[in-house]
């Protein structure tokens, strides 16, 4: 690990890192770099943002108790996940509409993730299609995150495409069958999808293109007054839709794509009984994202799922929901090592990752910090942030007396409540 050297040596020539090495400071800087709408979309949570805060506060309730004199000269951050060796326990959580942070969006993040050997979970709401991002990443590890559409045919098409472009696993997000109540976006009356942002997985899909030509079965959109902003929205939709701008504008296809997306993007009626549909349509391992109750974890096991992601979507869905770190120990006990547990929502440092691993996570997903780094300094910013997360965990682990991830156990923590 040469990350400190990579920072301190250029420092002698007056060169400083592009982004702060404190991931929790990236938000502050990103606020200066992003539009109000983009910042609100990324930083915001549901309701009064109590869960967003609690996700962070939960980490302060556990303290690391270092042990000394345990030869940590050689350390190994590697883990095995879904039958493959990984160089660190980190993944990149799926984050939609990254074009709000930077025009290169998922392409830049994909390149940074590949360079750092960290699997990137492609969002269902990505700004570039999975095929394009996969091509940028070569053989580097990639997963695909699905929002279960109202159209089974479209869902099946997404799964097939994920396999074809080399994704190693399917992550099905179950906590967003409805969009949470997000006051920061609501107060700006801004939803990126309505501008044609974040729907690239759909617009290139042949099944979706066919569905667009079918009559709309959903409610008719309320008529909005024509203003320069509504014209700009039409232009933005047309610019984002594949093909010629003028063709898209005059054919109305771009607008139809947005409407069709709104109509079918998610299905709040899905139940456990329908999971076999996914099994029938993919041979990829399936991970369920958004699990917060041990009984749901048990159900996932019973139904032969290959893993879960303990997540509350970064506090963006149910305000007042349990923090993920609070949910983790019971879920870990219920799972008993029978399937991998991934964890996200609130990871901002190596110490946070250490605590989550100690409480039963097998891997942790980095979320907002990489989106902020992308907004501040593009691909290079993301790369720095990922390298920082690895170096921070490596040092925390070594200094706590652990030579590898397997040695990060519950015994390394003390609960603040225990006194």
Q: Residue 408's closest CA among 365, 336, 366, 359?
A: 359
- The H or E element that residue 65 is part of is none
Of 21, 51, 124, 157, the residue at the interface with ligand FNR (CB under 6 A) is 124
Q: Residue 331 and residue 234: Cα distance in Å, rounded?
A: 46
Q: Does 346 bind ligand FNR (CB under 6 A)?
A: yes
Cα-trace Rg, the chain: 21
- The answer to whether residues 378 and 104 touch, using CB atoms and an 8 Å cutoff, is yes
Q: Does 368 bind ligand FNR (CB under 6 A)?
A: yes
The piece of 203-211, 233-241, 339-347, 397-405 that touches ligand FNR (CB under 6 A) is 339-347
- The H or E element that residue 206 is part of is helix 206-212
Q: Residue 137's closest CA among 128, 125, 145?
A: 128
Q: Does 88 bind ligand FNR (CB under 6 A)?
A: no
Of 38, 133, 347, 359, the residue at the interface with ligand FNR (CB under 6 A) is 347
- The answer to whether residues 389 and 366 touch, using CB atoms and an 8 Å cutoff, is yes
- The answer to whether residues 340 and 331 touch, using CB atoms and an 8 Å cutoff, is no
User: DSSP secondary-structure letter at 23?
Assistant: G
Q: What separation in angstroms does the CA of 104 have from each of 75, 126, 181, 204, 378?
A: 35, 11, 28, 18, 8
Of 141, 314, 350, 360, the residue at the interface with ligand FNR (CB under 6 A) is 314
Q: Which residue is nearest to ligand FNR (CB)?
A: 367
Q: Which of 102, 281, 293, 313 is catalytic?
A: 313
Q: Phi and psi dihedrals of 261, rounded to 5? A: -60, -50
Q: Does 375 bind ligand FNR (CB under 6 A)?
A: no
- Contacts with ligand FNR: how many residues (CB under 6 A)? 23
Of 88, 129, 145, 203, the residue at the interface with ligand FNR (CB under 6 A) is 145
- The answer to whether residues 137 and 408 touch, using CB atoms and an 8 Å cutoff, is no
Instruction: Say how many C-beta atoms besides its own lie within 10 A of residue 215's C-beta.
Output: 4
Q: Which is nearer to ligand FNR, 110 or 367 (CB)?
A: 367
Q: Does 142 bind ligand FNR (CB under 6 A)?
A: no
Interface residues for ligand FNR in 209-268 (CB under 6 A)? Answer: none
- The answer to whether residues 1 and 393 touch, using CB atoms and an 8 Å cutoff, is no
Tokens 């652990």 belong to 402
Q: Which is nearer to ligand FNR, 350 or 367 (CB)?
A: 367
Q: Which is nearer to ligand FNR, 321 or 402 (CB)?
A: 321
Q: Which is nearer to ligand FNR, 145 or 151 (CB)?
A: 145
Q: Is 313 an active-site residue?
A: yes
The piece of 29-37, 218-226, 241-249, 313-321 that touches ligand FNR (CB under 6 A) is 313-321
Where do contacts with ligand FNR occur on this chain (CB under 6 A)?
41-42, 93-96, 123-125, 145, 173, 289, 311, 313-314, 316, 344-347, 367-368, 371
Residues catalogued as catalytic: 313
């Amino acid at each position: 690990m040469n990350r400190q050297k990579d920072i301190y040596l250029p420092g002698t020539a007056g060169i400083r890192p592009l982004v702060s090495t404190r991931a929790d400071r990236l938000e502050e800087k990103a606020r200066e770099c992003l539009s109000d709408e983009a910042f609100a979309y990324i930083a915001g949570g549901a309701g009064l943002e109590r869960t967003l805060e609690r996700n962070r506060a939960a980490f302060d309730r556990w303290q690391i108790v270092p042990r000394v004199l345990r030869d940590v000269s050689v350390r190994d951050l590697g883990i095995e996940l879904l039958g493959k060796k990984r160089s660190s326990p980190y993944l990149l959580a799926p984050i939609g509409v990254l074009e709000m942070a930077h025009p290169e969006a998922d392409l830049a993040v994909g390149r940074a993730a590949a360079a750092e050997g960290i699997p990137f979970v492609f969002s269902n709401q990505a700004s570039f299609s999975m095929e394009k991002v996969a091509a940028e990443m070569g053989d580097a590890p990639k997963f695909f995150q699905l929002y279960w559409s109202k159209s089974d045919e479209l869902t099946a098409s997404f799964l097939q495409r994920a396999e074809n472009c080399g994704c190693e696993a399917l992550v099905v997000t179950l906590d967003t069958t409805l969009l949470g109540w997000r006051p920061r976006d609501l107060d700006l009356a801004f939803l990126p999808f309505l501008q044609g942002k974040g729907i690239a997985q759909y617009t290139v899909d042949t099944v979706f293109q066919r569905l667009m030509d079918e009559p709309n079965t959903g409610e008719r959109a309320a008529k909005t007054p024509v203003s320069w902003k509504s014209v700009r929205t039409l232009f933005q939709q047309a610019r984002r839709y594949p093909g010629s701008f003028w063709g898209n504008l005059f054919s109305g296809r771009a607008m139809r794509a947005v409407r069709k997306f709104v109509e079918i993007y998610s299905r709040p009626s899905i139940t456990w009984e329908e999971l076999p549909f996914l099994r029938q349509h993919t041979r990829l391992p399936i991970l369920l994202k958004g699990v917060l109750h041990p009984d749901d974890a048990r159900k996932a096991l019973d139904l032969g799922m290959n893993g879960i992601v303990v997540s509350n979507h970064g506090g963006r869905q149910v305000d007042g929901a349990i923090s993920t770190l609070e949910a983790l120990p019971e879920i870990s006990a219920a799972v008993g090592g029978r399937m991998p547990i991934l964890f996200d929502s609130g990871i901002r440092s190596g110490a946070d990752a250490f605590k989550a691993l100690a409480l039963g996570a097998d891997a942790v997903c980095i979320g907002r910090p990489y989106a902020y780094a992308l907004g501040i300094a593009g691909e290079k910013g993301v790369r720095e942030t990922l390298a920082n997360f690895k170096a921070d965990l490596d040092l925390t682990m070594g200094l706590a007396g652990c030579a590898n991830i397997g040695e990060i156990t519950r015994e390394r923590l003390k609960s603040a409540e225990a006194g």
